[in-house]
Amino acid sequence: MEGGKLPWLLVNEIGGIRGILHSHVPFLKKHFHLITMKEFLEDKKAVGKKVQAIYLWWHKPVIDKELLQSLPNLKVIANSGVGMDHLDLKLVASFGVKMANAPRAVSSSTADTGMALLLASARRLVEVHNISISSSTEYCEADILGVKVAGATLGIIGMGSIGYKVALRAKAFEMNILYHNRTRRKAQEEQAVSATYCKRIDSLLQQADFVMVVVSLTPQTHKLIGKRELELMKPTATLINISRGAVVDQEALVAALQTGVIGAAALDVTSPEPLPRDHPLLKLKNVIITPHLGTKTDKASYMITEEAVENILAALNGLPLPSEVLPS
């Protein structure tokens, strides 16, 4: 636990289910003395005084008042992703601690996840995979007919950097693109991806064959897609969620899928994650669920760590943080 002159960086653990990746350790060690939660808890007082930064790896460790109180020299918390809904931003700021996220690193891989879910749901990849590996590989064509993606309409709710990259991909798949966003994108950006702005979410929901939710979770977007919104969608439509589970009213979604109000759902996020093993969503044939795959690719996850290091070093050197997040 020596540490030398490098600043001390607290991480949840190294490797394992909730730990930073082993492959990132050499890079992190060039800049910091790494300390894990386990080491911190073994000698809270001595270690607590030395920690200047925390790197949150997929929401861990949990930041609460008690932890903040035991780290008197903490200057900055960097998050391994873009969504900050798991952090009490006001609480952290009240300790004079800065916060940063990693918006640059995540957009392409998260957009790929959205597109992968769209295609997998449209072409029923999970169902047909199961047929292919079952003992009887016979099937009736009528049972595996999918939805033609080219010419179908995709409605993107939330046209930030991830939504925009989804639109770029959807354009290449010859889809018609509608989007809804608090603020309209510039005309040249709309033209670049051939997207049409819908001021009202309702009109997007009524027209789309695929609705993809890409907004951040905030008090305003909590249960943005509820019973009313699902009922506006086409009975053949698919809902894809790559934002946060709580943006969709999950009970209403289960009912909509069970009763044919909508056709299918493909969810990278749920509430909670993972779902309890007896959850009705896990029993539906017209649902695909992935375990918050979002950004999880080799390059994106390394870039996230690079972005975190950039932010932490800026904070420790009293410089502006490239991706500072302020409490609203």
**Candidates 59, 124, 292, 310; catalytic one:** 292
| Tokens 């819908």 found at | 198
If the CB atoms of residues 48 and 81 are measured against ligand O=CC(=O)O, the closer one turns out to be 81
> Of residues 295, 305, 311, 323, which one binds ligand O=CC(=O)O by CB under 6 A?
295
Which CB atom, from 37 or from 84, has the smaller least distance to ligand O=CC(=O)O? 84
Residue whose C-beta lies closest to ligand O=CC(=O)O: 81
Give the nearer residue to ligand O=CC(=O)O in terms of CB position, either 169 or 296: 296
Strand partners, 11: 36, 55
Question: How many CA atoms lie less than 13 Å away from 305 in the CB half-sphere?
Answer: 23
Is residue 273 among the annotated active site residues? yes
Contact string (CB under 6 A) for ligand O=CC(=O)O, positions 275-294, x = contact? -------------------x
Contacts of 304 (CB under 8 A, 6+ apart): 80, 81, 102, 105, 106, 295
Long-range contact pairs involving 130-138 (C-beta distance under 8 Å, separation at least 24) = none
Work out which of 35, 47, 76, 82 binds ligand O=CC(=O)O, going by CB under 6 A: 82
Q: Known catalytic residue: 244?
A: yes
Taking the C-alpha atoms of residue 185 and residue 164, their distance in angstroms, rounded to an integer, is: 9
Annotated catalytic residue within 185, 244, 307, 310: 244
Output the smallest distance, CB 237 to ligand O=CC(=O)O, in A.
24
- Is residue 286 within 8 Å of 124, Cβ to Cβ? no
Judged by CB under 6 A, the residue of 53, 106, 213, 252 near ligand O=CC(=O)O is 106
169 given a catalytic annotation: no
Q: How far apart are CA 153 and CA 209, in angstroms?
A: 5
238: helix, strand or coil: strand
Taking the least distance from each CB to ligand O=CC(=O)O, the nearer of 176 and 323 is 323
> Which residue out of 273, 279, 306, 324 is catalytically annotated?
273
Nearest Cα neighbor of 281 from 223, 243, 241 is 241
Closest by CA position to 58, among listed 312, 242, 295: 295
Q: How far apart are CA 76 and CA 321, in angstroms?
A: 10
So which residues are the catalytic ones?
244, 273, 292
- Residues forming contacts to ligand O=CC(=O)O in the complex (CB under 6 A) are 81-83, 106, 294-295
